[in-house]
Amino acid sequence: MKSRTIQSPYQAVLPTPFGCVGMSVANEKLHGIDFLPADYPLQAPDSPLSRRVAAALNHYFDNPGSSFDLPLAILGTAHQVRVWRALTAIPPGHTTTYGQLARWLDSSPRAVGQACGANPLPIIIPCHRVVAANGRGGFMHAASGAPLAYKDWLLNHESGIAAGA
């Protein structure tokens, strides 16, 4: 019987203050970031781009006001891409509501929420900065559990910027 090596779907898995993140890199572009449990096996970056992404993420975790200048593969419907581009205009430490973003894009809050939930590059494309009119809203198509804990951590991490801390 031949043994098979299971290949990781990630080019790096990094520890974060709230668990781990896995990154998918191909053709010199960042294709995806996944939130993973804290006990997920770490994996050192295996390419120059994955090392650059890892450095940018680590810089963000140390400095929530930092921005990202990375080559991104932004693959989605025309509406999703429009929403994702709009998300990058929301500065760290600030939020907007699904309704406000929908009005700005001449869309609907539900369509904006669906696009946010389909975002393949959370943190880099900051969907966590979009909240419900009556509170934080969902994150990654979830209304509770770990995804909301990630969103809370990210918003709290950035909250000192808006307060001038």
Asked whether residue 107 is domain-assigned, the answer is yes
Per-residue model confidence (pLDDT) at position 33: 96
Q: What's the domain count of the chain? A: 1
Indicate if 127 belongs to the active site: yes
Asked whether residue 103 is domain-assigned, the answer is yes
Tens-place pLDDT, residues 57-102: 999 999 999 989 999 999 999 999 999 999 999 999 999 999 999 9
Per-residue model confidence (pLDDT) at position 1: 44
d(CA 118, CA 139): 10
Asked whether residue 109 is domain-assigned, the answer is yes
- The pTM for the full model equals 0.87
Asked whether residue 24 is domain-assigned, the answer is no
Per-residue model confidence (pLDDT) at position 149: 84
**Which parts of the chain have pLDDT scores under 50?**
1-6, 162-165
Asked whether residue 101 is domain-assigned, the answer is yes
Asked whether residue 131 is domain-assigned, the answer is yes
Per-residue model confidence (pLDDT) at position 3: 43
Asked whether residue 47 is domain-assigned, the answer is no
Residue 24 near residue 48 (C-beta atoms within 8 A): no
Domain that residue 94 falls in? 78-162
Asked whether residue 8 is domain-assigned, the answer is no
Catalytic-role residue among 127, 130, 140, 154: 127
The CATH number of residue 114's host domain is 1.10.10.10
Residue 91 DSSP one-character state: P
Per-residue model confidence (pLDDT) at position 9: 87
